[in-house]
Chains A and B, each alone.
Chain A
Amino acid sequence: MSQVVSCQPNCEGQPALAFDNVRIDRGGQTILDRVSFTVPKGAVVAVLGPSGAGKSTLMHAITGELCPAAGSITIFGQPIDYSNMGLMSLRCGIGVLLQGSGLLSDLTVAENIALPLRVHTALDAALIGRLVDLKLNAVGLRSARDLYPRELSGGMARRVAFARALALDPPLMLYDEPLTGLDPIATGVIVELIDNLNRIMGMTSIVITHHVKESLKIADQVLVIANGGIAFSGTPAALAASTDPLLRQFLDGKADGPIAFDAGRRPTVEETA
């Protein structure tokens, strides 16, 4: 039952991620519509947007948890195969860092990081131990090897989850709110790790976050999701120079604007691509 699943897709010359006119429904409501964008290999993409706009929905669509009602999603040129085997090999190739870090509470740090290696590879314990040390080293937590998750601070737990997500050397990394709830130093550490590891390990990273300033520092491409679709897709510089009222409200952190302070009012917003 434990098979070595192919985790390195054949991806010459293909964009890492491509959404083509995707519509995603959930519970009878359309969350996202007419979503089209491509992410080139090796890029760091920041996905910004107001709360509840559909950023997590986008993530669920990429990991195959949600099937698009219309349009197509391709990862490294391959459309998503929604069968059990297909999803398994898809998820082996995507490293995900969830907001709650999701470390198993009855395993030590080292055992947590070793888990995907134990399940998906036939490597022996000694080799897995070395790989675990490697990943821990990459996030700067060699000393936490034998601690339990309850003994870690929030920032440390998140870094361990980061190391675990890197365990199988995935070509695509997804970060769901990686900077939430961290102090400024821990935030800086995570941001630097995302940027450096993306470059060193040749990955493509998609960072879903509220932290506009920090993420724009390392992003090559920015997507802003608002009002059920893409409100902006381009470089950080273009975003900073944008005059769109919705984007300006979001960037400047204004309480009132196209997105009403009083949720009852319905503003009009035009989409810019």
Chain B
Amino acid sequence: MKANQARLDIAVGAFLLLAFATLMALAVASTNGRHNLSVEQVQLSARFSNIGELRIRAPVKIGGVTVGEVATVELDRESYEALVRIKVDSTVAIPADSSIGIYTAGLLGDRYLGISPGGDPESLKDGDEILFTQSAVVLEQLISKFLFNGQDDKEADQTPKSETEQK
């Protein structure tokens, strides 16, 4: 009876340990391991005229390395700009004249924010706003640009010809 009890305790203990080890291994090996628990973060903000499909929790990267994420997205009711608040790892010093833009991961992938650092010796502090922003490139606008540009080129080609012909 006591031996049975001991065997049971060992089996349950081994099971629990193995289970936790498995969970840890899975978390490390098969997920993006994104955890903000141990990292101190500062909050920054930026305004964009169009954020495209940028979502909350989208990554913020510098040079392709993730240093933070998007916390909230709001509409400024007066200027009709999108106000995006981000949380960034506080150990990264971001120069005050850095610019931030909305990029696409892959050809048709998710949107993310990329910060291009400037040269200012002063860094942005908690609550500061990044002033230089570049809005998202929206596919339809890109296509219509090509369409209209094509038309303009044709007209531009025709006018000088007629001028030279006349001469």
Residue numbers in B under 8 Å from A108 (CB-CB): 1
A146 touches B (CB below 8 Å): yes
Bound Cα distance A110, B5 (Å): 14
Quote the shortest CB–CB distance from A24 to chain B (angstroms). Answer: 43
Quote the shortest CB–CB distance from A245 to chain B (angstroms). Answer: 56
Quote the shortest CB–CB distance from B5 to chain A (angstroms). Answer: 10
Residue numbers in A under 8 Å from B1 (CB-CB): 108, 110-111, 146
Bound Cα distance A108, B1 (Å): 8
Q: Which of A88-138 contact B (CB under 8 A)?
A: 108, 110-111
Bound Cα distance A111, B1 (Å): 10
Number of A residues with CB within 8 Å of any CB on chain B: 4
Bound Cα distance A146, B4 (Å): 11
Q: Which of B1-23 contact A (CB under 8 A)?
A: 1
Quote the shortest CB–CB distance from B7 to chain A (angstroms). Answer: 14
Query: What 0/1 readout, one digit per residue, does chain B (75-104) give for beta carbons within 8 Å of chain A?
Result: 000000000000000000000000000000
Bound Cα distance A110, B1 (Å): 10
Quote the shortest CB–CB distance from B125 to chain A (angstroms). Answer: 54
Q: Which of A117-173 contact B (CB under 8 A)?
A: 146
CB-nearest residue of chain B relative to A145? B1
Quote the shortest CB–CB distance from B1 to chain A (angstroms). Answer: 5
CB-nearest residue of chain A relative to B4? A108
Quote the shortest CB–CB distance from A221 to chain B (angstroms). Answer: 42
Quote the shortest CB–CB distance from B41 to chain A (angstroms). Answer: 44
Quote the shortest CB–CB distance from A146 to chain B (angstroms). Answer: 5
Residue numbers in B under 8 Å from A146 (CB-CB): 1
CB-nearest residue of chain B relative to A146? B1
Bound Cα distance A203, B131 (Å): 91
Bound Cα distance A111, B155 (Å): 99
Quote the shortest CB–CB distance from A263 to chain B (angstroms). Answer: 50
Quote the shortest CB–CB distance from A94 to chain B (angstroms). Answer: 29
Q: Which of B51-74 contact A (CB under 8 A)?
A: none
Bound Cα distance A110, B4 (Å): 14
CB-nearest residue of chain B relative to A111? B1
Bound Cα distance A133, B1 (Å): 16
Bound Cα distance A146, B1 (Å): 7
Residue numbers in B under 8 Å from A110 (CB-CB): 1
Q: Which of A159-191 contact B (CB under 8 A)?
A: none
Q: Which of B101-138 contact A (CB under 8 A)?
A: none
Residue numbers in B under 8 Å from A111 (CB-CB): 1
Chain A residues within CB distance 8 Å of chain B: 108, 110-111, 146
> What are the nearest 4 A-B pairs in CB distance?
A146-B1, A108-B1, A110-B1, A111-B1
4 A-B pairs within 8 Å (CB atoms) are namely: A108-B1, A110-B1, A111-B1, A146-B1
